[in-house]
Chain A
Amino acid sequence: MERLDENKIESRKIAGKSLWSAAFLVLGIIVFIFATLNLSRLLEGRNSKKSGPEIKLKVEEKSDWSGSQVSPLHRIPLMDEFNQKIVPAAPDSLPFSTRYTCAPCHDYDKISGGTHFNLRQRPAVDRRSEPWFLVDEKTGVQLPVSFQSYPGFWLPEKLGISSWQFVTLFGRNLNGGGPGEPTTEEQTPDSRWNVSGHLEINCLGCHNKSPLQDHSEWVKQVMRQNFRWAATAASGLGEVIGMASRLPATWDIIDGPNPDDHEWAVVPQVKYNQNLFDSRNNAILDLPQPEDSRCLACHSVSPRQAKSKAAIDRDVHLQAGLKCVDCHRNDLSHEMVRGFEGEKLSRSSLKAQDFSCAGCHLGQKPEKGGYGFTGRLGAPRPAHKGIPKVHFERLACTVCHSGLLPEKEPQAVYTSRANRLGIFGKARWTSEYPVIVEPVFVREKDKKIYPERMMWPAFWAKKKGKDLVPIDSQEVLAAASEVINLKENVASLLNCLIPLAEEGFYPAVIISDYLFEPNVDGGLDARPLEKTTPVGKAGKDKFILVQVKEAEIKPLLFDFNPEEPPPGVEDKILNLLQNLKQLAGGRQPVYVIGKYAYRITEGYLDKAEKVGEPAAEPEIVWQEKENFLPLLSDFQVRNLAALGPGPEILTEEQIFLVLKKMSEVKPQPEIVYVTAGFVFSLGKEGKLKASRHPSAAAISWPLAHNVRPAQQALGKNGCTDCHSLSSKIFFGKVKASSPLKTSYRESKLGADLMKTGPLFQFLFGFTFLVRPAFKLLLAACLLLMGLILLVVMMRITRKIAGFQEGQQKPESRS
C-alpha cells in the first residue's frame, strides 16, 4: 500500500514535470510570437518615419515670449506711418500704422512671413486651400485665383492681376501685408498706392477683443480704397469719412484734406474716439488671443439650403468650449498650424503633428491606435470599434467626421471668402456665385481619400495653341453688351412703364411660368407663379405686362375709349413714351389701343389712326419704319423664359451670340467660353460646339470643418453608412454647376473621384446584405471547431498525465 502511494506520488511528480514542460513550450511559443510582432512594429515604425524632424528652435534664437500666460492690457501710443505719435484730439490726425505702433515689441517683419500674409511665399508642398474667386455675375465668370500653383488654380500674374487689383478685388478678406504692401518693383501703372496707402498687416483685425472691432467696416474702407485708414476704422478707435477712390491719382497724404470739396472727393479723415485713450494719449487695447468671431469673418461655411443661422450646428470643438486658436496655433512667426496629417511647418517652433486630429485624440503612434498620453485639451480618445484598419490607412479623419453629411448629390454651400459672407450693411453682400459644393470625396496623391469642396470654373478665354488663357470679362461686355445685359435691358424697359402703374404698384412682366420684376440693382428678380393669376399665364414666347404690389398682380395696360380718354391717361401715356424714347435706339415707341396709336411727334403726344387691323388689346410696341415690333424682343422673351428664376444667368443662345460678335470684331485668336467642364466654341455649322479641355476641369480643395460629433460620424450606424448598394458616397453623382443653362454638364461618380471601381463597390456593398449570415456561419463554425479543439486539448492533457501513469504501471507491478 505504501509502495502504491509512493508510486502515485512519483507518477504525479512526473506528470507534473510533463505538464511543466508542456507549459514552458506553450509559453515559449507565445514569447516568440510576441517578440516577432513587436519587432515588426518597431521596424515598420522606423520605415514610416519620414526623413527630417520638425524645425528645431536654434539654440542662439531667443524666444519672444515672456513666459506669462496672460496677455497684457496694452496702453500704448499709436504711431502713424511716419512713426509720429498720434494725438487723438488733434485735427487731421493720420490713421495709425501697425508697422510702427506694434513694432517696438513685436517683430513686424517676422510676422509678415506668416500664413495670412505671405501669400506669395507659400511653400510648394503646402496643401491646397480655398482659392480666391474672380466673379462677374454679369458675364458668367467664376475663376479660381491663387498664389498656389495647382492645376486649375490661376496665378494672378497669369491673369494680369497686379497687386493693386488683387487688393481691390479681394481686400475684403485680406488681413493686410503680402500684396497689400508691394515692393517698388510690384508697383504698376494702374496702382494708386500713393493715394490709398499700403494695406498694412491689421493686427487688431484678429487680436482686438473690443466689441467695436467691425469686419464690415474694414470691408467698407477697403472698397473705398482707404487702405491706410481701414485698420483704424475697423478697430473702432476712430471714425473715418471720405473716399480715397474719388481722389485724383496725383494726391498724396502730405497734401492733406481739400478744403474746397466737402461732398464728393473728400479726403479720408479720422476722428478718434477719445474715450479709448488715456490722459497721455495712449490707446487702451485689450489684445488677447483671437476670438472665434474674428476667424469666422473669413473662414465660415454655411449650407445654402439653411434658412437661418439657427439651422446650422457649430463645429463640435467650438461646442465643447475650444476656440479656433486652441488648435490653429502660431508663435510669433504667425505660421499657422492648419492641422492636417503630414503638415510641415518651416518657420514655426511648434510641432504640427501635435495639433492634428490624431495628435490630440490619439497621441503618439496614431497608426498603431495611439500610445502615450492622449486627450490633449480634453480630446476624447476614439474607440473606433469594429472599424477595419484599412480605413485608417486609406481615409483621412475628416472623411467620417467633417463637413455636411453626404446626400445623393453634394450640397451647395456659401463660404465667407468666395460668397462674401459676414459683411453687413443695407445691401445684401452674399453672392450666388461661385457655386461650391461639398462634400466630394477625392483620392489625393498620397493615396488617401479626403472630403473636399469642389467647383467648376467658368470664364471667357482665348485659344493660345492648345492652352486656354482667360480674358478680361470687360472685353466681352464691351463687345456684346446688349446680349449680356439681357436682364438689365428688360428691367430698364419695365422701369419706363412706371407712369402707367397705380400707386404702390410696380411694373413687371409675366413670361412663361415666371414673374419678372426689376430690383434695386438694376436687374430682374424672378419668381415662379404658383397659381393661376388673375391675368393668366403667358403662352409660349409671349409676355404679359403687369403691375405688382407684393403678392397682388394686376394688368398694367388697361382698356379705355381713345376717343374719350379718361382724364390723366394721356399724360401717363406721354410720360411713358418719353421714358421709352431714351431706350428707343432708332425706333419709335408707340402705344396702340383699338384702331388708334399714340406717338411722340415733335415733343407732343400724337394720336393717329393705326394702319392695319385694330389692336385686340392695348399694347406698347416699337415702330421701325412700317413694322410694329413687340416691346420685348423674341430674344429677350425666349431667354428669360429659359433662365427663369435661376440660378443660371446665361443661355446657350447668349453664348453663341457673344462668341459670334467677338469673332466678327476680332477673328483671331478664337474666343471660347469655359464652364461646367466643357469648352463652348463656335461650331462649323453655325451652332455652339461643346468639347473637353483640362482647363475646364473642376477644382477641389480639402475641407476640415465643421467637425461633427462622434454620434454623427459616418459609420456610426454600421458599415452600410458607406458600403451599400445605394451608397451615396460611391454612387452619388457630382454634377457640375454653372452660370450657363446647358445640358452639357460634366458629371462625376463618387467612386471615380475616389479612384475605386464602381463595380467593385457595388459588389462590395452587396456583400453587406449577406454579412450577418456570413458572421453567423463563421460563429457557428468557430463554435464547432472550438468545441472539438477543446475536447482534444483536454484529452491530450489527460493523455500526457495518464501516459506517464501508464508507463509507471509496469514498474509498480514489478
Chain B
Amino acid sequence: MVFGITSVVLIIALNMRLTFGRYLSHLPEEKRKVNSENFKGYVRWIVCWKKSFLKLSRWDRCLNYLIAWGKKNYPGWTVWVFYALVLSYAYLALSGLIFAWFVPRGLYGFPLLLHVAAGALFAACLSIILFLKARVYLPEKIAAGNQSQSRPDFYCPLLNKTFPRPYLQAAAFWTFAVAGFLLAASTLGSMLPYFHYPAQIFFFNLHRWSALASVLSVSLSLDSMIE
C-alpha cells in the first residue's frame, strides 16, 4: 500500500512540477510566478494538452518526434537499440505499475511472462546504450558542453539551487542507469538458488522501488528531450 501511494504521489508530483515549469516558461518573464492565477491557467493548459491526446494526430506527432529524436541522437543501427529499449521499457513500466496499483495479487499470468521477456530485452538494450552514451553524460563532458539552451535552467527548491538543463539530463540518465541496474540485479538475484526468503522479499522491494526511480527518471528525461 505504501508503495502504491508513494509511487502515485511522486509520479504525479514530479510530472506536475515539470509541466508547471514548462507552462511557466511559455509566459513572459514578469509573469512567471507561482500563484493561483497561473495555477488555474496551468490546469486549463494541461486539460487542453491532455485532450489533444484523444486525437490520433497527436500520437502520430509524438511518435514522429520520438523517432526523429532517436535518429538524431543514435546514429545507424544504434537507433534500433534505442527503440527496443523504449518499447520494452514502456511495457515493463505499464505492466508493472498497473498490476502493482490495481491488482492485489500483483503481476501474474501472461503479462508476467511478457514482462520477463521484455525485461531481458531491456537489460540488453540498456547495457548497450550505457556503453554508447556513458561518455556523453560524464560530468566533465556536461560541464564542457554547458552552452546555450532554449529553456531556462532548472531550479531545485530542495537545494535552493539552479541547475543547467544538461545537468538534469545527466542526472536523469544516470538515475535511469542505476535503476535499470538494480532492476536487473534484483531479477537475477531472485532467480538464483542462493538467497533465502527474507532476501527474496528484499529483492522484490528493491525491484519495485527501483522501478519507481526509473519511472521518475524517465519523466525527467522526457522533459529534457522535449524542446
Q: Which residues of A does B touch, CB under 8 Å?
A: 33, 36-37, 39-40, 43-44, 47, 368-370, 382-390, 392, 718, 757, 760, 763-764, 767, 771, 774-775, 777-782, 784-786, 788-789, 791-792, 795-796, 799
Contact status B180-A785, CB under 8 Å: yes
Q: Closest chain A residue to B6 by CB distance?
A: A36
Contact status A389-B139, CB under 8 Å: no
Partner of A718, one of B2, B106, B185, B193: B193
Shortest B199–chain A CB gap in Å is: 8
Contact status A782-B181, CB under 8 Å: yes
Tell me, in angstroms, the Cα distance from A199 to B182 when the chains sit together.
68
By Cβ-Cβ distance, the 3 closest A-B pairs, closest first, are: A386-B193, A40-B2, A369-B198
Q: Closest chain A residue to B124 by CB distance?
A: A781
Pick the interface stretch among B25-33, B61-69, B109-117. B109-117
Contact status B113-A785, CB under 8 Å: no
How many residues from B make CB contacts under 8 Å with A?
44
Tell me, in angstroms, the Cα distance from A388 to B113 when the chains sit together.
15
State whether A387 and B184 are in contact (beta carbons under 8 Å apart), knowing that A36-B2, A785-B177, A789-B177 are contacts in the complex.
Answer: no
Which residues on B sit within 8 Å (CB–CB) of A368?
198, 201
Partner of A760, one of B109, B126, B200: B109
CB of B120 within 8 Å of the partner chain: yes
Tell me, in angstroms, the Cα distance from A774 to B118 when the chains sit together.
12
Shortest B204–chain A CB gap in Å is: 6
22 A-B contact pairs sorted by A residue (CB < 8 Å):
A36-B2, A47-B1, A383-B197, A386-B195, A387-B197, A388-B190, A389-B201, A763-B113, A767-B113, A767-B116, A777-B123, A777-B124, A778-B188, A782-B184, A784-B127, A784-B131, A785-B127, A785-B130, A785-B180, A789-B181, A792-B134, A795-B139
Partner of A37, one of B180, B187, B205: B205
Tell me, in angstroms, the Cα distance from A781 to B81 when the chains sit together.
14
Tell me, in angstroms, the Cα distance from A384 to B193 when the chains sit together.
9
Tell me, in angstroms, the Cα distance from A792 to B175 when the chains sit together.
12
State whether A784 and B196 are in contact (beta carbons under 8 Å apart), knowing that A33-B209, A40-B3, A796-B139 are contacts in the complex.
Answer: no
Which residues on B sit within 8 Å (CB–CB) of A784?
127, 130-131
Add 5 more A-B contacts to A369-B201, A767-B113 (CB < 8 A). Answer: A383-B196, A386-B195, A389-B197, A779-B188, A781-B184
Tell me, in angstroms, the Cα distance from A785 to B181 when the chains sit together.
7
Q: Closest chain A residue to B178 by CB distance?
A: A789
Which residues on B sit within 8 Å (CB–CB) of A771?
191
CB of B227 within 8 Å of the partner chain: no
State whether A782 and B188 are in contact (beta carbons under 8 Å apart), knowing that A788-B134, A792-B134 are contacts in the complex.
Answer: yes
Tell me, in angstroms, the Cα distance from A795 to B134 when the chains sit together.
12
Shortest A74–chain B CB gap in Å is: 47
Contact status B126-A785, CB under 8 Å: yes
Q: Closest chain B residue to A381 by CB distance?
A: B196
Partner of A386, one of B2, B127, B174, B192: B192
Contact status A760-B184, CB under 8 Å: no
Shortest B173–chain A CB gap in Å is: 10
CB of B194 within 8 Å of the partner chain: yes
Contact status B1-A385, CB under 8 Å: no
Q: Closest chain B residue to A783 by CB distance?
A: B127
CB of B140 within 8 Å of the partner chain: yes
Shortest A711–chain B CB gap in Å is: 14
State whether A389 and B188 are in contact (beta carbons under 8 Å apart), knowing that A368-B198, A785-B177, A786-B181 are contacts in the complex.
Answer: no
Which residues on A sit within 8 Å (CB–CB) of B124?
777, 781
State whether A369 and B6 are in contact (beta carbons under 8 Å apart), knowing that A778-B187, A779-B188, A785-B180 are contacts in the complex.
Answer: no
Which residues on A sit within 8 Å (CB–CB) of B198?
368-369
Which residues on A sit within 8 Å (CB–CB) of B181?
782, 785-786, 789
* Best-surrounded residue of A44, A777, A791, A795 (most CB of chain B within 10 A): A777
Shortest A547–chain B CB gap in Å is: 65
Contact status A392-B197, CB under 8 Å: yes
Tell me, in angstroms, the Cα distance from A767 to B196 when the chains sit together.
23
Contact status B184-A795, CB under 8 Å: no
Shortest A772–chain B CB gap in Å is: 10
Shortest B95–chain A CB gap in Å is: 15
Shortest B27–chain A CB gap in Å is: 33
Contact status A43-B2, CB under 8 Å: yes
CB of B12 within 8 Å of the partner chain: no
Contact status A777-B120, CB under 8 Å: yes
Partner of A384, one of B1, B138, B180, B196: B196
Which residues on A sit within 8 Å (CB–CB) of B200?
369, 384, 387-389
Which residues on A sit within 8 Å (CB–CB) of B195?
385-386
Which residues on B sit within 8 Å (CB–CB) of A779?
188
Tell me, in angstroms, the Cα distance from A387 to B194 when the chains sit together.
9
Shortest B125–chain A CB gap in Å is: 9
Q: Closest chain B residue to A779 by CB distance?
A: B188
State whether A774 and B120 are in contact (beta carbons under 8 Å apart), knowing that A384-B197, A389-B200 are contacts in the complex.
Answer: yes
Chain B residues 67-119 with CB under 8 Å of chain A are: 106, 108-110, 113, 116
* Best-surrounded residue of B6, B177, B180, B200 (most CB of chain A within 10 A): B200
Tell me, in angstroms, the Cα distance from A392 to B197 when the chains sit together.
9
Q: Closest chain A residue to B193 by CB distance?
A: A386
Shortest A796–chain B CB gap in Å is: 6
Q: Closest chain B residue to A362 by CB distance?
A: B197
Tell me, in angstroms, the Cα distance from A785 to B128 when the chains sit together.
9
Which residues on B sit within 8 Å (CB–CB) of A792?
134, 138, 174
Which residues on B sit within 8 Å (CB–CB) of A47?
1
Shortest A116–chain B CB gap in Å is: 36
Which residues on A sit within 8 Å (CB–CB) of B190?
388
Contact status B201-A788, CB under 8 Å: no
Tell me, in angstroms, the Cα distance from A386 to B123 when the chains sit together.
21
Contact status B139-A782, CB under 8 Å: no
Contact status A788-B130, CB under 8 Å: yes
Shortest A32–chain B CB gap in Å is: 10
Shortest A651–chain B CB gap in Å is: 45
Tell me, in angstroms, the Cα distance from A771 to B120 when the chains sit together.
11
Contact status B113-A385, CB under 8 Å: no
State whether A757 and B109 are in contact (beta carbons under 8 Å apart), knowing that A775-B188, A778-B184 are contacts in the complex.
Answer: yes
Contact status B205-A795, CB under 8 Å: no
Which residues on B sit within 8 Å (CB–CB) of A392?
197
Which residues on A sit within 8 Å (CB–CB) of B110?
760, 763
Tell me, in angstroms, the Cα distance from A789 to B140 when the chains sit together.
16
Tell me, in angstroms, the Cα distance from A781 to B128 when the chains sit together.
9
Contact status B185-A782, CB under 8 Å: yes
Which residues on B sit within 8 Å (CB–CB) of A36?
2, 6, 209
Shortest B170–chain A CB gap in Å is: 10
State whether A369 and B196 are in contact (beta carbons under 8 Å apart), knowing that A40-B3, A43-B1 are contacts in the complex.
Answer: yes
Tell me, in angstroms, the Cα distance from A169 to B67 when the chains sit together.
80
Which residues on B sit within 8 Å (CB–CB) of A782?
123, 181, 184-185, 188
Which residues on B sit within 8 Å (CB–CB) of A785?
126-127, 130, 177, 180-181, 184
Q: Closest chain A residue to B137 by CB distance?
A: A792
Which residues on A sit within 8 Å (CB–CB) of B127?
780-781, 784-785
Partner of B196, one of A33, A385, A718, A791: A385
Partner of A788, one of B3, B108, B131, B194: B131
Contact status A775-B130, CB under 8 Å: no
Contact status A386-B194, CB under 8 Å: yes
State whether A386 and B139 are in contact (beta carbons under 8 Å apart), knowing that A778-B120, A781-B127 are contacts in the complex.
Answer: no
Q: Closest chain B residue to A447 by CB distance?
A: B105
Q: Closest chain B residue to A776 by CB distance?
A: B188
Tell me, in angstroms, the Cα distance from A181 to B12 when the chains sit together.
69
Contact status A39-B188, CB under 8 Å: no
* Best-surrounded residue of A33, A385, A763, A795 (most CB of chain B within 10 A): A385
Tell me, in angstroms, the Cα distance from A446 to B6 when the chains sit together.
29
Which residues on B sit within 8 Å (CB–CB) of A44?
1-2
Shortest A719–chain B CB gap in Å is: 9
Partner of B204, one of A389, A775, A791, A799: A389
Which residues on B sit within 8 Å (CB–CB) of A781?
123-124, 126-127, 184
Contact status A385-B194, CB under 8 Å: yes
Shortest B99–chain A CB gap in Å is: 12
Tell me, in angstroms, the Cα distance from A368 to B177 when the chains sit together.
30
Shortest A518–chain B CB gap in Å is: 59
